Amino acid sequence: MKKYLNMQMAAALLALTLFPGASAIAQEKIVVYTVLPIAEMNRRISDEFTKRTGVKVEYLNVPAVGTLAARIRSEKDRPRADIFAAAPIDFQEALAKDGLLVSYKSPNLYPDAVAKGYVDPKGYWTGWIATATAIFWNTTQFNKEFGDKVAHPKTWDDLLKPEFKGKLVAANPQTSAIGFIQLATQVFRLGEDKAWEYTKTFSANVAQFTPSAPIVVALVEKGEAPAGVYWLGDILTAKLNRGQPLDYAIPPDNAVAIWSASIVKGGPNPEGAKKFIDFLTSEYAQDIAAKVGFFHPLNPKVAPPVGAPSIADMKVAKYDMEWATANMDRVRKKWGEVSGQ
């Protein structure tokens, strides 16, 4: 036995002599902060990344972008995260402005990525997936309440019909990203004055503005509301993965939100973080995101999720991110006044 142990030790020492980086590679990892609670998608992406690079991935998953952004700020003197992946652009912009992110432009970027708004021109964030807003309804509950007397809502203005008074659910713009994006979309398509008129009428038709955004889908799934507004990817997940009786329409002049990844300044493994950014732009990572998470890929070589049109086929409102970021607090406050919430 002693002879066997000595042989093992000799083999280990020989490996370290011949491959001095082997131990470091085996233990190398990156820490990724994410708000996407899709365990299977995260696992398959991280497993393939580790297979290709030897770098392990440790996730911290908190389904609240603001909470993770605040954590990055609180850890600025001793960062624990290497990557903040997946967050809307406005949160990444705010962190970059505060000097908490590292500029990096992947050599694997898609054609015209910067021109299309998928990647920050300064390199502080890299978009890798997207999702669109959509109007959706529970087919069973909708038929029970309206029969064939009311058509399914397919445009933003359809949601203002008096038949829908007290029948809709939507996310609260003061507490959720999609709620604010939906509100800002009305500003960009109508102009601010008309957008507030729209908001007043729309609010009268909403039975509940949910403080936690995912509750919107749950309420429509259960038939507690016949229709609502939410991210298309979550609607498809409920419809196709959970077999819920849901259908949807993508309204003209809708919003497409880019979900991006950034490198945290001072993180433990900056080189591993760069490799992860490179990997997120790959066909493999985005194909998994489309098939498992029902997200829209930004890599043009990857097909959109099942049951969804491509981003190129959508009529998208021109979303002014700079205006939205600068006016967010003011608009949220006024929304409370106009909606009576």
Judged against a pLDDT cut of 90, whether residue 71 lies above it is answered with yes
For residue 108, what are its two tokens? 């694997």
Residue 275 has pLDDT above 60, yes or no: yes
pLDDT of 17 reads 40
Residue found by looking up tokens 């993770």 in the block: 68
pLDDT of 25 strictly over 80: no
Mean pLDDT of all residues in the chain? Answer: 89
d(CA 159, CA 189): 15
> Over pLDDT 70: what percentage of the chain?
92
How confident is residue 27, by pLDDT bands cut at 50, 70 and 90?
low
Predicted pLDDT at 136: 98
pLDDT at 326: 87
Task: Take residue 337 and report the two structure tokens written for it.
Answer: 């006044």
Give residue 257's pLDDT: 86
CA dist 219 and 168 (Å) reads 10
pTM of the model: 0.80
Residue pLDDT, tens place only, 218-242: 999 999 999 999 999 999 999 998 9
Question: How does 94-129 read in b/e, with b if 16+ C-beta sit within 10 Å?
Answer: bbbeeebbbebbbeebbeebeeeebbbeebbbbbbb
Specify the fold of 131-253+318-339: D-Maltodextrin-Binding Protein; domain 2 (3.40.190)
Mean pLDDT (whole number) for 52-60? 96
* Nearest alpha carbon to residue 58 among 234, 237, 260, 267: 267
Encoded tokens for 52: 């290709």
| pLDDT at res. 8 | 41
Same fold, 29-130+257-308 and 131-253+318-339: yes
Domain ranges within the chain, ordered by starting residue: 29-130+257-308, 131-253+318-339
- For domain 29-130+257-308, which CATH number applies: 3.40.50.300, 3.40.190.10, 3.40.630.10, 1.10.150.20? 3.40.190.10
Q: Where are the beta strands (DSSP E) in 142-236?
A: 168-171, 206-210, 227-231
Cα-Cα-Cα-Cα dihedral sign, residues 80, 83, 86, 87 = positive
